[in-house]
Amino acid sequence: MPTFATVLQNLRRAARLSQEELAERARLSVETISALERGARRAPYRTTVQLLADGLALPASARQLLASAAASAARRGARRAHLDEPAAALPAAPPDDVASPPAGAFGRQTENLPQQRTSFIGREDVLVDVGALVRSQRLVTLVGPGGAGKTRTSLQIATEMLEAFADGVWFIELAELTNGDDVPAAVAHVLGIELSPAGALDTLVRSLRPKHALLIFDNCEHVVASAATVVAALLSGCPGVRVLATTRQTLGVAGESTYPLPALPFPVGVDALSTAEASSFAAVALFADRAAAADFGFALAEENALTIAEICRRLDGNPLAIELAAACMKFLSPQQLAERLDQRFLVLTRGNRDVSARHQTLRALIDWSYDLLDERERGLLRRLGVFAGSFTVQSAIAVGSSAQLAASDVLDVLASLIEKSLVLAESGNGERRYRLLESTRAYAEEKLAASGERDAVFSRHRRHLRDLFAGARQGVSRIAGRTEVRRLLTTESENVRSALNRPVLDDDVEVNRELLAALGAAWTRQPGIRARVWATIGRRKSRRPRVR
Ligand SMILES: Nc1ncnc2c1ncn2[C@@H]1O[C@H](COP(=O)(O)OP(=O)(O)OP(=O)(O)O)[C@@H](O)[C@H]1O
Ligand SMILES: [Mg+2]
């Protein structure tokens, strides 16, 4: 850990302030600042640290750096009994789920992994696979949407690897950084390396060159370019260093092994579940564990197992969403919660107070990704919210292009939404299809409504389906046409159903009629569908066709 004097001096110089200017801004005397920077006064008062941080207009990460340097100065001072104030008056130690700095650069401490206060559930295969990857590759990236469990899983892997790295396993939390330029300082801070403001990355690489260590770069997505630069430099310059990164967006550097973290498994397509069967699925087990913690009276039982499985399915097996749902067991039954999941952003709002703001509500979880998008990506994501189920690249172009996004650019923007874990590319032998997770889709649709584009996009979706099915009917023969329509219906039935369930705008009455004509009898023969679609022809905007 660099001394408080060095940290203060570096931060002041980075802010391009003289001692006098800082003194004025922080409402402290020049002598105090001079004494602190010379090390003549080692452990400042907590209020002094706050005034300095305010005077320097520090972001959260740098504030923490300054406070940690002050705390460690106080600890050192206490040992020497040279304190200029009692240790109790100094900044409190970071909470135990925040990485605290080691005593010195690769001193006796060999890890800084935050203690977990809840149980880790499932993921046995993932731990084996990623563990093997980390042993064989120098850069492994755990990638997935918000709340998928990337950080938690990386910590589990790191814990299992403590013995494997002579110079330790280090958790570098990037989530709080507001500026990518701070990535080298964040790494240096955790490892207790003193950086000179110029050539910070070189100093880091030089210090780490002889080390054999695993570094976990946690939550890289919002500083992805800088994290990639630092990781690439470490991989090139430090042969014994390995990196396990967690991120919603891959780093995109040579040698990266990407591991997409799957959803927690949940049961599907069952109409009965014993308690034992249900709890063998990690998503249900997680819900049951967190619900029992929230409400002492809660128990997974045969009566609620199917409902809980359904909740987990609708939440895409996402651990954070499941934890937020389980917290609702304090005031809702599983059945009541399931009935309210259409309003998921209003219900899943009660995350623990001691977690980061982006994990306190489902909306904040997705806001974090949405806020990192550029305008074209945001626009496309909103419009993709119109698709129920999966869609093709042609459909994305037809519905997703706009005045701001040319049809020829849709594929490129779609690719970046995939890289940012907001759209899933489903694997398949033939044509690739794409899909939004249910929570992302609900979020996109909400944003679409707020943008005022919803009616226009619904209309384009309906027209696109009409064109698709009408085109399929134009086969070489009537039989070939019908076969093609039936084939299309196997992949597009959810889109058709949702289009037909929406109110028909006045301008779309004819389009709807044509869509129904193109679908023909094949539609009414879809399993589970009793369409009264013909009755809707010509109906007004306010009337909804009823399709079950
Ligand atoms: N396998 C698991 N067992 C128990 N809890 C889990 C598991 N995976 C994730 N969780 C919990 O789910 C929540 C979200 O996990 P985590 O923070 O790892 O998500 P993340 O993918 O890193 O999200 P973000 O992209 O926002 O950083 C946390 O409270 C975590 O403890
Ligand atoms: Mg994370």
| For the chain, percent of residues with pLDDT exceeding 70 | 88
Q: Which run of H or E residues covers position 245?
A: strand 241-247
Q: Which of 493, 39, 23 is nearest to 31 (CA)?
A: 23
Chain centre distance of CA 199: 32
How many residues are present in the chain?
A: 548
pTM value is 0.78
State which ligand 1 atom lies nearest to the alpha carbon of 175.
27
Is the C-beta atom of 222 inside 6 A of ligand 1?
Answer: no
- The neighbouring-strand residues paired with 435 are 424
Q: Which of 102, 88, 74 is nearest to 4 (CA)?
A: 74
State phi, psi for 424 to the nearest 5 degrees. -100, 135
Is the C-beta atom of 319 inside 6 A of ligand 1?
Answer: yes
Q: What is the rounded CA–CA span in Å between residue 301 and residue 278?
A: 9
Residue 502 has pLDDT above 50, yes or no: yes
Is the C-beta atom of 334 inside 6 A of ligand 1?
Answer: no
Q: Indicate the Cα dihedral angle 385, 387, 388, 392, nearest 10°.
A: -130
CA distances from 62 to 73, 98, 127 (A): 16, 14, 33
Residue 18, pLDDT score: 87
Is the C-beta atom of 351 inside 6 A of ligand 1?
Answer: no
- The neighbouring-strand residues paired with 245 are 141, 217
What is the band of 13 on the pLDDT scale with cuts at 50, 70, 90? confident
State which ligand 1 atom lies nearest to the alpha carbon of 142.
21
In the reported structure, the alpha carbon of residue 357 is separated from the centroid of ligand 2 by a whole-number distance in angstroms of 12
State which ligand 1 atom lies nearest to the alpha carbon of 146.
25
Q: What residue's CA is closest to ligand 1, atom 18? A: 149
- The neighbouring-strand residues paired with 111 are 169
What is the band of 482 on the pLDDT scale with cuts at 50, 70, 90? confident
Any idea which ligand is nearest the CA of 117? 1
User: 68 or 468: which carries more pLDDT confidence?
Assistant: 468
DSSP string, 262-277: PPPP---S-S---HHH
Answer for the pair 481, 517: CB distance below 8 angstroms, yes or no. no
Is the C-beta atom of 338 inside 6 A of ligand 1?
Answer: no
Q: What is the rounded CA–CA span in Å between residue 36 and residue 198?
A: 22
Q: What angle do CA 425, 427, 431 make, to 5 degrees?
A: 90
Question: What letter would DSSP give residue 242?
Answer: E
Chain centre distance of CA 88: 37
Residue 460 has pLDDT above 50, yes or no: yes
Q: What residue's CA is closest to ligand 1, atom 24? A: 146
Q: How confident is the model over 85-124, as pLDDT tens digits? A: 333 333 333 333 333 444 445 666 788 999 888 999 999 9
* 358 phi-psi bin (left φ>0, alpha ψ -120 to 50, beta other): alpha
In the reported structure, the alpha carbon of residue 544 is separated from the centroid of ligand 1 by a whole-number distance in angstroms of 40
Residue 35, pLDDT score: 80
Q: What residue's CA is closest to ligand 1, atom 26? A: 146
- Pull the structure tokens for residue 179: 């500026």
Out of 98, 116, 124, 151, give the residue to mutate to test ligand 1, the one with the largest number of ligand atoms within 8 Å of its CB: 151
In the reported structure, the alpha carbon of residue 120 is separated from the centroid of ligand 1 by a whole-number distance in angstroms of 9
Q: Rounded mean pLDDT of 49-64?
A: 84
Q: What stretches of 45-146 adopt beta strand conformation (E)?
A: 139-143
What is the band of 32 on the pLDDT scale with cuts at 50, 70, 90? confident
In the reported structure, the alpha carbon of residue 149 is separated from the centroid of ligand 2 by a whole-number distance in angstroms of 7
| CA atoms in the 13 A half-sphere facing the CB of 136 | 7
Is the C-beta atom of 242 inside 6 A of ligand 1?
Answer: no
Is the C-beta atom of 320 inside 6 A of ligand 1?
Answer: yes
In the reported structure, the alpha carbon of residue 524 is separated from the centroid of ligand 1 by a whole-number distance in angstroms of 43
Is the C-beta atom of 243 inside 6 A of ligand 1?
Answer: no
Is the C-beta atom of 290 inside 6 A of ligand 1?
Answer: no
What is the band of 10 on the pLDDT scale with cuts at 50, 70, 90? confident
- Pull the structure tokens for residue 532: 């009264």
Is the C-beta atom of 317 inside 6 A of ligand 1?
Answer: no
Out of 126, 141, 320, give the residue to mutate to test ligand 1, the one with the largest number of ligand atoms within 8 Å of its CB: 320
Residue 537, pLDDT score: 40
Q: What is the rounded CA–CA span in Å between residue 215 and residue 220?
A: 13
List, in order, residues 6 or more apart from 342 with CB less than 8 Å away: none
3-state secondary structure of 195: coil
DSSP string, 455-471: HHHHHHHHHHHHHHHHH
Highest mean pLDDT among 76-90, 399-413, 463-477, 503-517: 399-413
